[in-house]
Structure 1
Amino acid sequence: MFDDNAPSPSAEGSAPDLNQDALIDAYSHAVAAVADSVGPAVVRVQGGTPDRRGGLGSGVVIAGDGLVLTNSHVVAGARRVRIGLPEAGDREAEVLGEDPATDLALLRVELPRGAATATLGDSKMLRRGHLVVGIGNPLGFESTITAGIVSALGRSLRSQSGHLIDDVIQTDAALNPGNSGGALVAASGQVVGINTAMIAGAQGLAFAVSSNTARFVIGEFIAHGRVRRAHLGIAAQTVPLPRRVSLAIHSGANAVRIGEVQPGGAAQLAGLRVGDILFALDDVVVEGADDLLRLLGADRIGRPVEVSLLREGRLITRTVTAHERPA
């Protein structure tokens, strides 16, 4: 039986009209709320040394004691940099740590009373299509807001220093020179990435280091002043696993695909191949490149580790003696 009271399609056969004004209004409110809450915590950063050019970039205040997160390529080897605080002028900041392998650096600056701070969120909660807002100082225009969506997750990106950065977020939120080190913010108001790069001449291709990677790096900076880590000699990309596969191997929803094996590296010596899917390390489930990065801490340098792999539908294990990641 047909319901005579049910809404009918339009003459063109399309779905019933939605309240477009309400949708646009909700989108605008979400972006404006992020701008109001996180924008004041994004600062200007001027880095570089006499023999190594840095740049004018951005940074994110992540703690009330003056911790500021930015890009390594903005700091560019400097021990001290200049910070431009909203409504508080320029101040000198100390570089607590710099890690070109993730293009992240941690600074400390004296903050005025009541200065705004941002909260690092869980980047693993992101999905393609989620709304994100970029906040930074592109081309010197301070406190600029752009908005877009998460275009892809788990990318690998070659940094300006030549290092391959894993677990990078791709977004179409417009970024330009000067956005580097700024915040990529979810609709919840939490920082889910630190903007790191755009591709010149390509519209809608911009990238951010995930907040989960940033959490690991911050902990290393605070504990050791630098990031010491083991390295398998691979480029890792986060990929989803079919549910039937993850259930069969008792893994998570995601794993790591080996996209590159470095010649002469630990992985090549152990027989790992491009295309292998790595889902566990020493029986600990690996659900992404950020998991792998955290598991390969300094305590695993020079130690054999067992990696669990899927190769052409077969379950295999290999023992890899991890090297120290080159400085």
Structure 2
Amino acid sequence: MPASFPLAQQQPGARAKSQTTLPTPQLPNIADVVARTNGGVVNIQSVSEDGGTSIGSGFCLDAKGEIVTNFHVIRDALKIGGPILAVTQDGRILTASVRGYDEATDLALLEVDLGRQPLPTLPLGDSDAVRVGDWVIAIGSPFELDHTVTVGIISGKGRSGLDGAYDDFLQTDAAINFGNSGGPLVALTGEVIGINTLVLARGQGLGFAIPVNILKELLPDLRSIGRVRRSSIGVEAVDISALDRRGTGLAGAVRGVRVAKVERGLPGDQAGLRRGDIVVAVEGTPVMSSGHFNRLIARSRPGTAIQIRIRREEKEYTVAATPIEKK
């Protein structure tokens, strides 16, 4: 309940001020959202390299039996050739084949034969539209406790530097534990807005999910060729700390990233980028983090020049780099 405070004592003859009561927002019933989505969530089990069992979660993407999970959930099974099983809420044990995977973003696309018993499919939402403070629901199988549901809010967006070069995590305080990996983070609309991926064990309420818009970008490649094609300009960038920002001339919401390495002879070098340059935009899109910069470059078209806005010695320049396909 909200804290209550005593009303101020009124002076004799003073009129009481009218109080305005804000309307209470009507939120969807969480149990109704869970009832619509829970059946489309599966428990993923596969053999681990140490001879044990790797446990994770996943969710059904379409009626053909496509299932999304994290790559790290099935990594060992791919390495040693063991089976991958998807266990449904109604107890079916389905053997899954790997349609495609992307280690860089920790995503994998599996496929199962649903026969004549389809699973509910979970619609994909728009993670860019999600706001900090929005309510979310995490569904998965932490510690083999199938179809566990936890609730929290979006605590932050654009979290990078946690797991890989393309990080852009949604942060949530919905409880995420071992076994939740690959399960959906669901908005109150019933749409998936993230894929639960990791938790910081040294803290509390620090769970992270891959934004679903990253999955949507990768799905065409995962479905058609089983891997993700990316472009590169041979530039490594790092985030700029608040202390470092003071001497950069960056103002307001402009974040930018600092160039840490330029590989000789590659497109970034040919375009004139130097170590220490601050990249503020790619093709007019403001750069918010190193993961964001890497994704903007990665999804550009090889052989087609892109405009990169940089800041160097308190002046801004635009350079053109022509990406190549990353090997």
Structure 1 CA distance, aligned partners of 2:22 and 2:307? 55
Residue 262 to residue 116, structure 1, CA distance change in 2 (3 Å): farther
Q: Paired residue for 1:11, among 7, 11, 31?
A: 7
State which structure, 1 or 2, has the greater radius of gyration over its C-alpha atoms. Answer: 2
Amino acid at match of 2:87: G
1:71 correspondence with 2:70:
yes
RMSD: 3.6
Per the alignment, residue 167 of structure 1 pairs with: 168
Q: Cα distance, 1:229 vs. partner?
A: 0.4
Q: Cα distance, 1:114 vs. partner?
A: 3.7
Per the alignment, residue 133 of structure 1 pairs with: 137
* Matched-pair identity in %: 30
Unmatched 5+ stretches in structure 2: 10-17, 241-251
Q: Cα distance, 1:189 vs. partner?
A: 1.1
Structure 2 CA distance, aligned partners of 1:154 and 1:295? 17
* Structure 1 segments (4+ residues) deviating >6 Å: 17-20, 51-54, 253-256
Q: Paired residue for 2:110, among 69, 92, 107?
A: 107
Unmatched 5+ stretches in structure 1: 1-8, 239-252
Per the alignment, residue 246 of structure 1 pairs with: none
8 Å CA contact 1:229–1:297 kept in 2: the answer is yes
Structure 1 CA distance, aligned partners of 2:275 and 2:187? 35
Q: Cα distance, 1:33 vs. partner?
A: 2.6
Structure 1 CA distance, aligned partners of 2:200 and 2:258? 20
Q: Cα distance, 1:210 vs. partner?
A: 0.6
Structure 2 CA distance, aligned partners of 1:32 and 1:314? 55
- TM-score with structure 1 setting the length: 0.76
TM-superposition CA deviations, 1:138-191 (whole Å, max 9, x none): 1110111111111111111443xxx33322111111100000001011121110
Q: Paired residue for 2:156, among 132, 147, 152?
A: 152
8 Å CA contact 2:262–2:273 kept in 1: the answer is no
Per the alignment, residue 214 of structure 1 pairs with: 215
8 Å CA contact 1:123–1:210 kept in 2: the answer is yes
Residue 89 to residue 178, structure 1, CA distance change in 2 (3 Å): same
Per the alignment, residue 15 of structure 2 pairs with: none
8 Å CA contact 2:136–2:186 kept in 1: the answer is yes
Q: Cα distance, 1:315 vs. partner?
A: 3.1
Q: Cα distance, 1:271 vs. partner?
A: 2.5
Per the alignment, residue 32 of structure 1 pairs with: 31
Q: Cα distance, 1:217 vs. partner?
A: 1.4
Alignment of structure 1 residues 126-275 onto 2, 5 Å: 126-159=130-163, 163-232=164-233, 233-235=235-237, 257-258=256-257, 261-262=260-261, 264=263, 269=269, 270-271=272-273
Residue 53 to residue 321, structure 1, CA distance change in 2 (3 Å): farther
TM-superposition CA deviations, 1:199-240 (whole Å, max 9, x none): 1121011111111100111111112211110134345779xx
Amino acid at match of 1:11: L
8 Å CA contact 2:100–2:227 kept in 1: the answer is yes
Q: Cα distance, 1:78 vs. partner?
A: 3.4
Amino acid at match of 2:145: F
Amino acid at match of 2:223: I
Structure 2 CA distance, aligned partners of 1:268 and 1:12? 65
Structure 2 CA distance, aligned partners of 1:275 and 1:187? 42
Amino acid at match of 1:126: V
Amino acid at match of 1:97: G
**SS of residue paired to 1:47:** strand
Structure with the higher fraction of residues in strand conformation: 1
Count of residues in Structure 1 that have an aligned counterpart in Structure 2: 294
Per the alignment, residue 57 of structure 1 pairs with: 56
**SS of residue paired to 1:165:** coil
- TM-score with structure 2 setting the length: 0.76
Residue 132 to residue 12, structure 1, CA distance change in 2 (3 Å): farther
Residue 32 to residue 276, structure 1, CA distance change in 2 (3 Å): farther
8 Å CA contact 1:149–1:171 kept in 2: the answer is yes
Residue 319 to residue 222, structure 1, CA distance change in 2 (3 Å): same
**SS of residue paired to 1:128:** coil
Alignment of structure 1 residues 274-285 onto 2, 5 Å: 276-281=278-283, 285=285
Per the alignment, residue 82 of structure 1 pairs with: 85
